[in-house]
Structure 1
Amino acid sequence: MAAHQSSEWRSVCEKFRLAQELSEIESRKDPENNPFRSKYKARDLLKEIHCSLKKIEIEEEGEADNEADCESRQMLDGELGSECGKSCSGDSPAGLRAARLAVVQYCLGVNHIETEELSAGEQHLMNCLKLIDKCTTTRENVSLFIQARNQLGILWAGRDEIEKAQGFLEIAESMYLLYMREDGQPPLDLEDFFVLEGEELSQQEKIRRFEMAYTHTLYYLAQVYKNLQQYEKAGQYCHSTLQRQLEYKQFVPLEWAINAATLSQYYITKTRYMEARHCLAAASVIATLAGEIPSEAAAKESDAECEKREELLQKRSEIARCWIKYCLNLMQDAKKLLEDNIGELDLDRQEELKRAHRNVEEEKEKGRKSAILFGSSDTFDSICSLEEKVSSMLPLDFEEARSIFLVGQSYVAQAKEYFAMDGHVTDHIEILQDHSALFKVLAFFEQDLERRCKMHKRRVDMLEPICKDLNAQYYLLICRQLQFELAETYYEMMDLKLAVADRQDQPDVHTIKKFNNLCSSSMKYYQMFLDSIRSPEGKFPEKLEDDLLRPALVARFRVARLQSKLISSNLDTQLENLSNSLESYNFVVQYCEENPEAKKAVETELELSIEMVSLLPLKINRIRSKIASCN
C-alpha cells in the first residue's frame, strides 16, 4: 500500500501509534480515581487524526479551499456520509480514504465502549460499517469487517440482545471463511493503514493478528450459543477457540487451562469422556506453563510471590476438582450400566459388556480422536502422557474402577491444598463429599461384603468430624447434606452386616452389638436431619417444601425400617421398637394421604409402608400376648 511521506502524514501515523499505546498499555497504569485518563487522551488523538484525514482528502481531490480546517470535533459523534460511493476496489484513493476513516471510527467505537459510553460506541462502529459495507470483502478491509462485527456482537450481548449479537458474529464468521476460501493471503491489519513506507507489519504478524480476530469471533459465538442454550454448538466453538489459541500461541496459560477444564465438565454431562479427559490433561499441562508454585517461605518474603502462589494454587486446585468430577462421573455412569433393579452388581450384565463393550468403544474413540486434539509439538507429548494415566472408558470390574478411583483420590489431595477447611469451608466440604462419593461407587464394584463395609467406614471417618463441628446456624444446607449422607452410609453398613449375619447360623453377641450400633447411628443422623426441618418451636411442617419432600419421607421410612431391625432378646424392648416403627410407617402413609402429590416422589417407600402398616400390628399383638403370658 502506498503511504504518504509528508510531515503531516508522519504526524498522523505518530498520533495513531500513540493512541494505540495509550489505549493498550498506558491505560493499565491509570489511577483508580481517574480510570479512563489514558483512554480520553487516545480519543482526542483519534479525533485529530480524523480531522487530518479529511484535510488530506480535500488536498488530494484538488479542492480550491485549501485553508479549510476542522472547526468542530463534535462532527465525529454521528455525522458521516458514505465514502464508498465512487470506488472501493484495491488501493483506489476513495477506497483507501474510506478504509482509513473506517479504522478511525472503529477505534473511536472501541474507545467509547471501554469508557462505558455504549451508545456512542455503537454509533462509531455503525459509522465504520457504513464506510466499508458497500465494498466487496478484500484484503484491505476483511480484518476491519470482522473486528467491527465482533465488537458489535459483544455490545449487543452485553445488552442481553443475544440474537442480535448472534447475527453480527455469524456474519463475521462467514466473512472469514469466504475470504480464506477465495483469497487466503495475509490481509491488511488496522495498523497497516497508518504506517510509513517500509514500516509495514510482516506477513507473519498480519496472519497472526487476522487469525486472532477470527479466534475472538469463535470465542464470542461460543458464549452466544451458550446463552441461547445451544450447548452442543457452544461446546464445539469453545473447543475450536481453545485449539486455535494454542495453535497461534494466543493464550494466557492459567486462563486457557481453566477454560479447558470447564469445557471438560460439559463433555462429562454428555458422557464424552475421551474429550473430557483430553481437555483436563491439556489444562493440567498448560497450567504448568504459568511457572512453579513459589514456596511458603518465598511467599512470606515478597507480596508478588505471595500473590503468584495464591493464584497458582487456586487455579491448579480448581483443575484438580474437575479431575475429581471426571473420575466420579465415569465410575457412576458405569455403575448405572451394571446395576440390577435393587442396585447391586449384575454379574451377567457385567460379562456381557466385557465381551462386547471394549471393541465398540475403542472403534468410537478412533473416529473422534483426531478432531479433538490440543497442543503443539512442545506440549502434545505431555498431554498424551497424562491421558494414559487414566482410562476414558467405563470401568467394568473392581480393578478398572479402582485405578480410576486412585486417580480421583490423588486429585482430592491436590484440591485440598488450596481449598482448606480454614478459609474455604464450603469448597472443602464439597471436595470431601466427592471423596466420599468415590468410595461409595468403588464399594459397588467390591463383592467382598466386609471390604465394602470398610469402604463405607472410610466415608464416615471423613464426614462425621466435620458434621459434628459445623455450625448449623450458618451452614444449615450443608449440615443437612452431611446428616443425610452419614445416615445413608450407616444404613448401607447395616444392610451389609445384615447380609453377613444371614450367612451365619447364629450371630454372636459382638455381631449383634455391632449391628445395633449401626442401626442406632443411622437413626441418629436421620433424626438430626428431620429435626433440622422443624420450626424453632419444634413443630414438624404440615407441608414439606419440594426440595425436602423426598429426603424427609425417605428418612422417616428408613427410621421405621431401622427400628424394626433392632435385635433384642427383651420383649418389652422389642415391643417399643416395633411400636416406634409402626408410628414412622404411619407418618409416611398419612402424609401421602393428606398430600396426594407426594405419592410420586416415594412410590416404592409408600407401597412398603402401607404393607408394613397392615403387618406390624399383628407382630406387635403377638409380642404383647407373650408379655402377658410371662406375667
Structure 2
Amino acid sequence: MDPNAFLSSFDAIVTLSNTEGPRHNVLEPKFTAREQMQALRESVRNAYKESPSQTAMSQICRCCVFIGFNMLETDEETEGVNEICKAYTLTLFGAKKELLDDVVDIAAHPLEEILRNEAPFVTAEKEYAFVTEFMRVHNALGFYFSNRDVELRINDAKQVLIVAEKAYRAWNDWFHQSFPGHCLMKDIPVLENGTLDRASISPDALPIYIVRFEMDTAFTSTLFFLAQVYTACKMTALASRYCHHTLYHQLLNKMEFSKKDWATNALHLSAFYSSCFDYGKALHCLRAGEYIMPEENANEETLGIVAWAFGKFYLHRLHYYAEVRRNCAPRGHFPDEFEGWWVDFPLDIPPPQPLPAIETFEDARECFKEANVWFNKALNYYVYDGCCTEHIDIKKDIAQLYAALISFEENRDRIIAMHQRRVALIEPFPSDLNFNAYPTLVRQLLFELGGMHEEMLEVYIQQKNSPMEGEKPLSDKKINAFTDKAQGFYRRFCDTWKEPQTNKIPETIDIDSRLPFFRSLMRLAHLQMKRFFKDPKEEYDNISASIVMFEKAIAFASSNPMNEEADAEVQLAREMATLLPVRQKDLWRVYHNAV
C-alpha cells in the first residue's frame, strides 16, 4: 500500500482508539478501532500477495502490533500476545531483508525464545531494516510483561525493554555516522497533534526525518515502560532517570499526554533531585511542572500540588543546611554518573544553576519566607473541610520549617517563640479530629506535640541553668507545670490504646504500634526526671515515680517483643531502673543528715 495512504489511515485509527468512549461502553472506540485496523491489515495483505515488499511487510507488522496491544488493553491477553508474537516473527524476517511467503497464517514466535534473546537482531549490516518495527514489538511485550502479577514477569519486561533500548542506541550511533546531514529530534517539525509536519520537509529529506521521528517516538514509549518497571522494582534512581527522559522526549515529540500527569511527574522528579541535594536541578523540574500544569479550573490536584511541591523544595533545602550547621548532614550528593544523562527540559524556563549554600540566619530566613509563601498558597487549595489530612500535613510542613529555622537562631527567647509557633500550628487538631476516623493521624500528632514540648523544655532548662543577660528563666513551679503539659501529650498518646469496655490498655498491642508506644513510655520516664525540687525529700519521691515509669517500660517490652532497633533503649531502661535507687540512697543520706 502507498506509504502515505497507509500512514493516513493508520494515524486516524490510532486517534480513534485514544478517544474516550460513552459511559455505558468506554471501550467502544477501541473495539471499533480494532475492526478498522484489521480491515487495513487485510488490504495490505492483498497488496502484498500481488507485489511482496519490505514496505508492505512492515505495514502488516505495525497493524499486528496495534491489534495485539489493543487486545491487551481490553483484557484479551492470550489473543493479544499471539498477535504480538506474530509481529515478532515478521521482524525476524524483515531485519534480514527477507520476505515471508505467507503473511496471512504467520507463526507466532514462542515467548520463551523471545526471552532468551538478550541482544538486538537488527544490525548495521542490514542498514537497520525493520528497526522501528523491532522497537514497537518489544515495547508491546514490555507492556504485557509489566502488567502481569507474577514478580518474575517484571524482570521479563525489563529484559525485553532493555533490548529495545540497546537497539535504539546502536541505531542512533549508526544513524549519526551514516548520514552526515542527519537530524535530531529537536530539529523535527511536529504538529500540535503529535504527527510529523510532512508539508514543511523537503522530499529529499523526508525519508530521514520519518525514520528519526518514528524511532524517537517508539523510544519514548520504551523509556516510559522502563520507568514503570524500575518503579515497580523500587529502583528509585533508575526509575527517575527513565522518567526524566520520558518527560523530555514527550515534549520533543509532542506526544499526546495529560498535562496534569506530566507536570505531576516533573514535581515528583524534583523531589528525587532534592533527595540527592542537587537543588538546581530540582528547581528546574519544579519550574517545568509549574509551566506545564493547567491553570484553568485550578484545584488541589493542579496548582495546589504545584504550590505544595515548591514549599517542600524550600523546606528540604532549609532542613539540609540546618543539618550541615549541626554537623549531621547526610552524605550522598548527586551521583556523578547521573550527570551524563541529565537534559534540560525544552521549555521557556531557566536552565539549572547551582544554588548558594544557606549559611547565615538571614539566608535561612529568606528560604523560610519563600517556603511559607508557597505553603500558604497550597492551603488555599487544600482546605480543612474538604482535604483534612492534606491540610494538616501542610501545617506540619510549616511546623518543620520553624524547626529548621531554629538551627540558625541563637537567641533563646526567639527559639522558644518559634517552638510555640510550631505547637500552635497543630495543637488544635488531635481534639478536633474524630479518632475513630483518623486513629493513626491523631496518634502521630500527639506524639509530635509531645516532642515539640520536650524540645521547648530543654531550652527553658538551659535558661534556668545558664541564664544569659536579658533572659527571665521560669520558676521551678512553672517548669514543672510545663513538664506536666509535655507528659500530657504522651499520656494521651498511650491512652488511645485503651479498650472501650475496660478503659484499660491491653497487656499486648499490635506489632506496628509497639515501638512508638514503648518510646512514649520512655519519654514519660525521662521527662519525670527533668523536674526541679528544692527539697531532697520531694526529689526522692520523684525518683520513685521515675523508677515506676522505667519499670513500666521494661514490663511492656517483655510482653511486647520488638525488633533490634529497640534493644539499646530497653537496655537503657533497665540500667536506669538499677541506677536510680542508688541515687535515692544518696539523697536519703543527705536528707537525714540535714534533719
- Calculate the TM-score normalised by the size of structure 2: 0.78
Aligned to 1:309, the other structure's residue is in SS state coil
Indicate yes or no: 2:538 matched with 1:533: no
Unaligned runs of 5+ in 1: 5-9, 61-92, 193-197, 294-307, 344-349
The answer as to 2:229 corresponding to 1:220 is no
> Hey, what's the Cα distance between the residues in 1 that align with 2:321 and 2:522?
29
Deviations for 1:264-286, whole angstroms, at most 9, x for unmatched residues?
22333444444333322322233
Q: What CA distance in whole angstroms lies between the structure 2 residues aligned with 1:233 and 1:130?
A: 31
Q: Which amino acid letter does the alignment assign opposite residue 249 of structure 2?
A: R
Is 2:286 aligned against 1:280? Answer: yes
Residue correspondence of structure 1 range 215-614 to structure 2 within 5 A: 215-250=220-255, 252-287=258-293, 290=294, 292-293=295-296, 308-310=297-299, 313-339=300-326, 372-376=342-346, 379-381=348-350, 391=355, 393=357, 395-504=358-467, 511-536=475-500, 537-567=502-532, 577-592=542-557, 600-602=567-569, 605-606=572-573, 609-610=576-577, 612-614=579-581
Bigger mean CA offset, 39-48 vs 160-169: 39-48
Does the Cα contact within 8 Å between 1:588 and 1:609 map onto a contact in 2? no
Q: Which residue of 2 aligns with 1:24?
A: 15
Residue 253 of structure 1 aligns with an amino acid whose one-letter code is: K
- What is the SS of the residue equivalent to 1:25? helix
- AA matched with 2:368: F
> How far did residue 440 of structure 1 move?
1.4
Q: Give the equivalent residue in structure 2 for 1:75.
A: none
Change (3 A) 1:612 1:489: farther
More deviation, 411-420/129-138? 129-138
Distance 2:524 2:33 in 1: 72
Q: Hey, what does 1:151 align to over in structure 2?
A: 140
| Cα offset, 1:205, TM superposition | 6.2
* Match status 1:40 vs 2:39: no
Comparing 454-463 and 110-119, the one that deviates more: 110-119
Q: Which protein has the bigger helix share?
A: 1
Cα deviation code 1:88-107 (max 9, x no counterpart)? xxxxx432332232222223
- Residue in 1 aligned with 2:107? none
- Relative to structure 1, is the Cα distance of residues 402 and 21 closer, same or farther in structure 2, using a 3 angstrom cutoff? same
Q: Answer yes or no: is 1:117 the counterpart of 2:69.
A: no
Deviation, 1:317, is 2.2
- Show the counterpart of 1:135: 94
- Relative to structure 1, the CA distance from residue 437 to residue 493 in structure 2 (aligned partners, 3 Å threshold; closer, same or farther) is same
What is the aligned counterpart of 2:165 among 170, 173, 194?
Answer: 173
- The 3 A distance-change label for structure 1 pair 605 and 483 is farther
Q: 1:491 to 1:56 in 2, by over 3 A?
A: closer
For the 8 Å contact 2:453–2:486, the answer to whether it is kept is yes
Change (3 A) 1:219 1:121: same
CA contact (8 A) 2:10 2:37 kept: yes
Q: Give the superposition deviation at 1:479.
A: 0.9
Deviation string 1:463-501 (CA, Å, 9 cap, x unpaired) is 111122112121111111111111111111111111111
Instruction: Look at both structures and tell me which one has the larger radius of gyration over its CA atoms.
Output: 1
How many angstroms apart in 2 are the aligned matches of 1:533 and 1:608? 27
Amino acid in the other structure paired with 2:283: R
Aligned to 2:101: none
Does the 8 Å contact 1:27/1:37 carry over to 2? no
1: CA distance, partners of 2:472 / 2:242: 64
What amino acid is the match of 2:505? Answer: F
Structure 2 counterpart of 1:120, one-letter code: E
Which residue of structure 2 aligns with residue 71 of structure 1? Answer: none
- Tell me: CA distance 1:168–1:370, structure 2 relative to 1, closer, same or farther (3 Å): closer
Offset at residue 263 of structure 1 (A) = 1.6
- Label 1:148 to 1:593 Cα distance change in 2 as closer, same or farther (>3 A): closer
SS at match of 2:427: helix
2:585 corresponds to 1:618: yes
- 1:325-377 CA distances to partner (integer Å, 9 max, x unpaired)? 3333334444444437xx9xxxxxx9xx9xxx9xx99xx9999778534233x
| Alpha-carbon distance between aligned partners in 1 of 2:534 and 2:395, rounded to the nearest angstrom | 40
Q: Does 1:97 align with 2:60?
A: no
Q: What is the identity, as a one-letter code, of the residue corresponding to 1:243?
A: Y
Shift of 1:462: 0.7
8 Å contact kept, 2:84–2:141: yes
Q: Is the 8 A contact 1:103 1:144 kept in 2?
A: yes
Kindly provide the amino acid, as one letter, of the partner of residue 266 in structure 1.
F
Q: Determine if contact 1:453/1:493 at 8 Å carries over to the other structure.
A: yes
* TM-superposed deviation, 1:200: 12
Unaligned runs of 5+ in 2: 96-121, 177-181, 197-201
Aligned-pair CA distance for 1:439: 1.2
Measured against aligned partners, the alpha-carbon deviations of 1:12-33 in whole angstroms (never above 9, x if no partner) come to: x48x755653542376253222
Identity of aligned residues (%): 24
Q: Partners of 1:494 and 1:521 in 2: how far apart?
A: 10
1:73 equivalent in structure 2: none
Q: Secondary structure at the match of 2:391?
A: helix
- Residue of structure 2 in register with 1:52 after alignment: 43
For 2:523 and 2:388, the matched residues in 1 are separated by 30
- In 1: Cα distance, 2:38 partner to 2:203 partner: 23
Aligned length: 537
| RMSD of aligned Cα (Å) | 4.0
CA distance in 2, matches of 1:32, 1:125: 29
Compute the TM-score of the two structures, normalised by the length of structure 1.
0.74
Offset of 1:212 from its aligned partner?
1.9
